[in-house]
Structure 1
Amino acid sequence: MSKSVAIIGTRGYPSYYGGFETAVRKLAPYLAEQGWDVTVYGREGSTRPDDDGRDPRVHTVTTRGLETKSVSTLSYGFTATRHAAKAKPDVALVMNVANGFFLPTLTRAGIPSLVNVDGIEWDRAKWGRIAKFVFHTGAKWTATHGTRMVYDAKAIAARWKSEFGLDGDFIPYGGDVPGELPLESGLEHRRYALMVARFVPENTVAEFIDAAEQMATYCDVVIVGSSGYGGELEEKVAALSAANSRVKWLGHLSDDQRLLSLWQHAGAYFHGHSVGGTNPALVQAMACGAPVIARDTIYNREVLEGAGVLVQPDANAIEAAVKALLNDPEKQQALSEAALARAEESYSWLGVCQKYEAALLELIKQK
């Protein structure tokens, strides 16, 4: 049977920007392999036509929008949804509740929608009052006009059940278990601290930067990430890196193998994300066997299930946990093995892709 799906709400394919883009890089080729006609909507300049990671069976469409922090998601979601409504795929996979405003367009076109609601965006500290209102309203529209929801964490599912009375499918993110990768030049295996995060307040970046000043007196500190828009946190990391050779700021990395290597050889990986459900960076770090120190949140507890150290979002607590782990090779090994086992058991990309396909097929069947 011929099956077609439009994927709306990411920066495109293949893109390396964030969790949605990572999921689409795995899911789109998988669906194409299963015989789907797959179209991924994206933004001009967010992907490279000559990217070696591109599967030629995946169709891509770029639409117009406004590339600003506050309205980019809404503007690109609007134009992508209009295009998809005319193309009339069998089903649409929509990422992010901000696109909930445009779901009626799909409904009128007879296209059922599977919506990955992401995290609780209206709780994020990076958004102002108006943006939080927009996201919360978008969630209400999603709850009303989306055909079926996807939750990447059980805690997110519980929140949506409580607030909107909706069930849905629990489909987390996955991780690749890599082979042995070469150590980054200038670093020692299990002797450096690592943070990988977008530079936003709820990812505990400021607290880690403060802790890094003390950590750099006894270990290398590697920081991967940026805000994408400049700002105070980037300025602070740049200044710290310039002043101390043991603090290495690598910015945003699109080289998957290099990032996997950093996780695989880290002595302590700090994961400070506090909202958003199952975080793909945490799952991938676990699949690489990184010894994890994570901010104590309901989401991180759910994913780790004891395979990591939990700390409060305080610079002193973070630094103390990193120092203790770097000085305890036996605990490093135990956490590494536990994280890898947990990732293999519950967070494989094959399992994730199979669940997405099953949910999409069910919507077509109901249609």
Structure 2
Amino acid sequence: MKAAILGTVGVPGRYGGFETLAENLVRQHQARGSGTDLAVYCSAPAYDVQPSNYLGASLYYSRWKANGLQSVLYDATTLLQCVWRGCDVVLLLGVSGASILPVIRLVSRMRIVTNVDGIEWRRDKWKGLARHFLRFSEWMAVRFSHEVVADNQGIADYLSDTYGISPKVIAYGGDHAVNLPSDACSAVRSLPCSLGYALALCRIEPENNIDMILEAFASSQRDLVFVGNWDSSDYGRRLRSKYAACANLHLLDPIYDPDELYRIRIDASFYVHGHSAGGTNPSLVEMMHFGLPVVAFDCVYNRHTTEGRADYFRSSLDLSALIACEIRADAGAWMKEIADRKYRWSIVADQYFEMLSADWQTSETLSTANQGKQQ
């Protein structure tokens, strides 16, 4: 079987949920010693060094960027390359290039499995034509994929209600985050606060309720370490300036080094998760593996991910009340139990590989049947 993973920046994964998914599927594929010919398509501008192989997977490079407007061309051209290479099945991550799927279905028997991600067109950052295009792309992905994957039951319910389909629910793994640092004495940045702080970690976007979180902690005495890309937008820069005088708020730039990130996570007392859009968020399931209590924004996706066992807030007043209270002693243990049961990469990979293999076998059966009819 020839299989390919498309739609991500590529591997080795550096940052982002889909890149982490692709990276860990490749690692699990290598660990299994599968006979499947697995390929990953990568965005050439993101990699100064472009090896042809990574952990046993073949790497192919596209001239287009995987994000922004170029993502449409990136997905479309790599799908066409998969047809040319004779792939049996592809895993398409995201819906940017879904408008070409009818053409792919017309010229090829290649099976298409699409992970639609969150309900992208509903995100606050998309307006006007971009929002309409993303909604159209979502429809095309659902209509012309052979299988559709949702990473959260809340997303699956939306797809079922909107399009009348039954998607496969496959979440993300997070156990890679608890791998011990390569050097137990690895140097990390010095934090201007004692251990036991609250921790938040995300992209600085309005839909992640950043202002709500900062407002609640600014009115408390509790230390908050908040890691994010503050300087990437006017929104982030405005918030950093607004709360710069709050001594208990420590707004750190993005941290990509896994050892340093591990140290900052392990020394926290609880995790604050403000995401209100998307599905199963990778940073949430990663933190659940640390066995810390979780305080999450109250939306259907976060409740599904945490099975209703976290503490939830819908306003800065709600969050202020939770900060002032003692976090439930058993909350962290529940998060760890759920993560071990549902959000390990070995489990996620089993689900993906089983589905990709089943799709390939279905394609082979149909091909054999068609040949028999022709004879």
TM-score (norm. length: structure 1) = 0.87
1:199 matches 2:204: yes
1:297 matches 2:293: no
Where structure 2 has 5 or more consecutive residues not aligned to the other structure, the ranges are 364-375
| Deviation string, structure 1 residues 275-303 (Cα, Å, up to 9, x no partner) | 21111111111011121100000111111
Of 351, 357, 361, 1:361 maps to 357
Q: Looking at CA atoms only, which structure, 1 or 2, has the larger radius of gyration?
A: 2
Other structure's SS at 1:113 match: strand
Residue 368 (structure 2) aligns with? none
Q: 2 CA distance for matches of 1:255 and 1:100?
A: 33
Residue 30 (structure 1) aligns with? 28
| Deviation string, structure 1 residues 13-61 (Cα, Å, up to 9, x no partner) | 122322111111111221233232222112234346499xx94312222
Q: 2 CA distance for matches of 1:350 and 1:171?
A: 12
Question: Once the 2 structures are TM-superposed, how far is the Cα of residue 241 of structure 1 from its aligned partner?
Answer: 6.9
Q: 1:116 to 1:68 in 2, by over 3 A?
A: closer
Other structure's SS at 2:325 match: helix
Q: 1 CA distance for matches of 2:270 and 2:164?
A: 40
Of 330, 342, 355, 2:338 maps to 342
Q: 2 CA distance for matches of 1:296 and 1:90?
A: 41
Other structure's SS at 1:199 match: coil
Of 186, 193, 214, 2:219 maps to 214
Other structure's SS at 1:97 match: coil
| Deviation string, structure 1 residues 171-224 (Cα, Å, up to 9, x no partner) | 1111217266778743533x2121111122211122223334334xx2332112
Question: Once the 2 structures are TM-superposed, how far is the Cα of residue 5 of structure 1 from its aligned partner?
Answer: 1.3
Residue 56 (structure 2) aligns with? 57
Residue 263 (structure 1) aligns with? 265
Question: Contact between 2:204 and 2:229, CA under 8 Å: does it hold in 1?
Answer: yes
Q: What amino acid does structure 2 have at the position aligned with 1:175?
A: G
Residue 43 (structure 1) aligns with? 43
Q: 1:304 to 1:67 in 2, by over 3 A?
A: closer
Of 8-17 and 39-48, more deviation after overlay is shown by 39-48
Query: 1:251-330, aligned counterparts within 5 Å?
Result: 251-312=253-314, 314-325=315-326, 328=327
Question: Contact between 1:237 and 1:249, CA under 8 Å: does it hold in 2?
Answer: no
Q: CA RMSD of the aligned region, Å? A: 2.5
Question: Once the 2 structures are TM-superposed, how far is the Cα of residue 306 of structure 1 from its aligned partner?
Answer: 3.3
Residue 227 (structure 2) aligns with? 224
Question: Once the 2 structures are TM-superposed, how far is the Cα of residue 246 of structure 1 from its aligned partner?
Answer: 4.1
Question: Once the 2 structures are TM-superposed, how far is the Cα of residue 87 of structure 1 from its aligned partner?
Answer: 1.7
Q: 1:252 to 1:50 in 2, by over 3 A?
A: farther
Of 88, 100, 103, 1:102 maps to 100
Of 172-181 and 334-343, more deviation after overlay is shown by 172-181
Q: 1:46 to 1:214 in 2, by over 3 A?
A: farther
Other structure's SS at 1:62 match: strand
Where structure 1 has 5 or more consecutive residues not aligned to the other structure, the ranges are none
Question: Contact between 1:11 and 1:42, CA under 8 Å: does it hold in 2?
Answer: yes
Q: 1:37 to 1:151 in 2, by over 3 A?
A: same
Question: Contact between 1:194 and 1:221, CA under 8 Å: does it hold in 2?
Answer: yes
Question: Once the 2 structures are TM-superposed, how far is the Cα of residue 82 of structure 1 from its aligned partner?
Answer: 2.5
Question: Contact between 1:91 and 1:113, CA under 8 Å: does it hold in 2?
Answer: yes
Task: Count residues in correspondence.
Answer: 352
Q: 1:206 to 1:147 in 2, by over 3 A?
A: same
